[in-house]
A and B are shown apart, each in its own frame.
Chain A
C-alpha cells in the first residue's frame, strides 16, 4: 500500500502538438479509491500509463510511496494494472495467466499455486483454471485480469475502464464486486472511467479531468453539489446542471431542485414561471423540458420531478416553480469559474 502522487505532470505527443496531460497535480491518500473521470480524449489513460511507467512524462514527477519513480521501468514500480482490453495472454491458460507475475518474481511453484488459489477464491474463478481466455465471458475475463493484478499484492492498482466492455447488468454487479473487493484488501486504487455513475458509486474521491487538466478533485458529493466550474457542473449529473445567464454571470441549479412551488417551502425560495414544452418519463421520474423567465435571461432548462411528486403537469402550459436560494451556484460567464453568490430577488 502506498500513496501515489504526480507533480506538475505534462505529457505531450507529436513533438508538443498534442497536450494529452497538461499540468496535473494529484495525490492519493493511503488505501484510497480515486476515480479519474472525464470525457473521451481528456488524457485519463495517458495519465494512468505515465504513472505505470508505460509513458515517459514530458515534464514533472511521479511518486509512489514517497519515492520519485520517473527513472524506473514498469516492473520495478510494484503496480498492477488492469487494461481496458484486459490484455490476458491468449496462449496461456487462466492459471498460467494468473501466476505469470509471480513467475516473473521467481516465486516457487507451490507458493505460486497457493496465491493463485487465494485470488481465485476471492473472485470465484477457481473452476476456470484450465480454460484459455477466449473460452471465457467478458465478466470472467475481467475477474481473471483482476486476479492476475491481485496475486502480486501490489502497492497500487491502476484500472483503466475495466467495466466498459460489459453489458449494463453485469457492469452494475461487477462495480459492486470491485468496490467491496477493494474495501477488503484496502490497496490504493486509481480507477479511470468516463462514466459518471461508476465514478459517483465507486470513488472515495473523484478527480474530474478536462483537456489534460484536473478541474476539480473531491468527494463525490462535493463534486456534485459544489462544482468548481461550469465544465464540472454540466459534466456531472443527468440531466446536467441548468445554467441561466444574468449580468455576466451564470446561475446554476440542478434539475431535481426546481420543483412546483407548492412542494418547496421556506423563506429563501425563489419562484419562477416555467413554461413546459415537453415531458419525458424516465425510470419513474418526470423530466420537464421548457423555458424559465425571471431568474435571468429566458433560458431553456430541464426540471426533474421525482416519482414522489404527483402534481399534474401537461405540456404547453406555464406553471409556477420554485428553487431554494441555497441550491443556486454562481459562475463567471467568461471563465466558467465559481464566483461569490449574489442576491437574486423573487
Chain B
C-alpha cells in the first residue's frame, strides 16, 4: 500500500461524514419538508478516496449523487443542507438547490441535463492547461449519462488537446430503472478509452477504496505531468432507489442485500483496524463528531431565513 496513513484516515472520516449526511438527507426527503429531492449515494462512497487526492485548486464535476464529492472536496455541511432547503444561507443562497456550487473549491455546479457537465469538465481542463500550474480536473459521471453525445465530444477533445482531465465513471449498472444491458452494447465502459487513445481501467470491485484510490492516483499524477486524460470505471451499486420514493420494480431485495454485504465503508474500516490505523474508540469518536456536525448543520438549515423575493433578480449578470 502506497497511500499515506493520514490520507487513509481522512478518507475514512469523510466516508463517515458523507454517509451520515446521506442518511440525514434521506430522512429530510421523506419528511416532505425539504424542497429539493435527494439522490442517495449510499454504497458508492469509495469515491471519497479519489476526491481526497485533489488539492483546493483542482476542479471536480459531480453527478446528482454528488454528496461524497462535495464533502471530500471540502464543502461545509451547512452550505449543502441549507441549499437543499433553499435557504438564503445555502451555498447558492437558495437559488441553485441540488445544483451545488462552490467556485473557490473548483466546484462549478451541475445542470439537470445529464452528461452536459462532461464538456464543462474538459473546459476546466483547458483553463488548467493554459494556466500551466499542474491543476487537474476529476470528472465523475454515471453509466447512464455516459450514453449521451457530449461524452464523445468532450473525451475526444480532452485527448486531442491532452487536457489534464481524469474521467471517472460511477458504473452502478442502472440508469434510473433501466439496466446497463439496455443502455450499453458493452459491459466495461472503460473500453471506450482506447477509442480516444487514452488509458482506461475498469475496477471490477469498485467498493475497494484502496484499489479505487490508487488507480485514481496513477491517472491524476499522469494528468498533472501533462500526459493527458485517462478513464477510470468502477463497478459499484446504489443501495437506495434512483430517488427517495422509487418503488424499485427493476430489482430484487436479494440483489440489494448481496451488494450491501460489499459495503465499501465497512470493508475499509476492517482494513484500517487490521492495520492498526484506527481503533474502535477512534471510530466511535469520528461517528459522534459526524453526527454532531450534521445535526448542527441540519438545525442551521431549518432555522435559516428564506431568500427575499428580490433575490431572484440579483445575480443574473456579472458586472
Q: Do A and B bind each other?
A: no
Q: Which residues of A contact B (CB under 8 A)?
A: none
Interface residues in chain B, defined as those with a beta carbon under 8 Å from any beta carbon in chain A: none
